[in-house]
Amino acid sequence: MKKFTVEWYGINLPRITHVIKADAENDAHEKAMEQYRYPEYPDMYVWVDEEEYKQFYNTHYDPDYIVPKKSKESRPGQPAGTDGSVGWYENLGEKSLSDRDILIAQLHELRTIKRCVVCTILIVIVIPIVFGVITSA
C-alpha cells in the first residue's frame, strides 16, 4: 500500500488535506469518499507524488450547501470597552479561559492602574510638599 495525499479544493475555501493508504489513486479517492464528507468542495486532488496529481469529482458535493458561519460567543460578565479600546478579553478569539485565568488577567490590569495612581499621587502631592518644606526651612 502507498500513501496518497487527498486534497479537497474549492474556490474561496481553505484546502482540506488528508493522507490515505491505498493501492492506487482510484482506491484513495474511494476510501476518502467513505471516510470524509465535505459537501462544500466540488473537486478533489489525489496527489501521486509532489508534482503530479489526479483530479476527481467530490461525490458528496452539494452546490446548495451553505457553509455554517462561526458565531462569536458573547462573554457575559466581561465588560465591553466603551472607548473603543481592545482589552485582553477581546484578544481571546475562540479560546475559553478558566475563572482563574480571567482573575489573573484582571489582577494584572489592576496592578497597572495602581502604579499609575501611585505615581500621580507622588508627582502631584508628595513632591510639591517636600519641596515646600525644604524651601521654607
Residue 45 lies in a domain: yes
Residue pLDDT, tens place only, 6-52 = 999 888 888 899 999 999 999 999 999 999 999 999 999 998 888 88
Residue 82 lies in a domain: no
Residue 110 belongs to what domain range? 97-136
Q: Sort 114 into a burial class: Cβ within 10 Å, 0-12 / 13-18 / 19+.
A: exposed
Residue 73 lies in a domain: no
Residue 66 lies in a domain: no
Residue pLDDT, tens place only, 93-132 = 556 667 787 788 788 889 989 999 999 988 898 888 988 9
Cell of 108: 494584572
Domain count of the chain?
2
Residue 14 lies in a domain: yes
Residue 75 lies in a domain: no
